[in-house]
């Protein structure tokens, strides 16, 4: 068993998103099929626990929905032609910030 957060849009609330922790059956392994089994297990558990209907959008590189894969931080890019880099993935940008924490963050943010 494992627990992961599920984010539910709240259109009529001051907070636009509600976060719920869901317990589900986790399938060990590095194969895409194992990861997708875990995703399906999480979605089924969330639908039951939160009494939701419809489809859950999985935003990850292992999503079975094209839009979910496209919205993954590994596939989203930032156009940085101004600093002679065509594009950089959101995850690469995030990791580069993490690696440069000892330096001045204001210097890093100035490239954006």
Identify whether residues 38 and 82 lie together within a single domain: no
Supply the pLDDT for residue 97.
65
45 and 92 part of one domain: no
43 pLDDT above the threshold of 90: yes
Question: Where is pLDDT greater, at 38 or 95?
Answer: 38
Segment 48-107, tens digit of pLDDT: 999 988 889 999 999 999 999 998 988 888 776 666 567 777 777 777 666 555 555 555
* Pair (10, 46) in one structural domain: yes
pTM of the model: 0.71
Residues 7 and 57 in one domain: yes
Residues 6+ apart with CB under 8 A from 27: 34, 35, 37, 38, 41
**81 and 35 in one domain?**
no
Same domain, yes or no: 22 and 51: yes
Number of domains in the chain: 2
Q: Do 11 and 54 fall into the same domain? A: yes
Structure tokens at 39: 């995703």
56 and 94 inside one domain: no
Question: For residue 3, how far is the Cα from the chain centroid?
Answer: 15
pLDDT in tens, 28-37: 999 999 999 9
User: Range of 8's domain?
Assistant: 2-61
Whether residue 82 is found in the same domain as residue 37: no
Q: What confidence score (pLDDT) does residue 50 get?
A: 93
Check whether residue 8 and residue 57 sit in a common domain: yes
């Amino acid at each position: 068993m494992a627990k992961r957060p599920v984010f539910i849009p709240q259109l009529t609330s001051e907070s636009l998103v509600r976060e719920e922790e869901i317990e589900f059956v986790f399938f060990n392994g590095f194969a895409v099929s194992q990861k997708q089994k875990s995703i399906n297990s999480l979605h089924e558990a969330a639908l039951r626990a939160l009494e939701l209907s419809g489809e859950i959008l999985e935003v990850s590189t292992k999503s079975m929905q094209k839009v979910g894969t496209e919205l993954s931080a590994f596939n989203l890019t930032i156009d940085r032609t101004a600093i002679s880099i065509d594009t950089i993935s959101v995850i690469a940008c995030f990791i580069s910030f993490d690696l440069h924490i000892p330096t001045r963050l204001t210097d890093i943010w100035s490239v954006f």
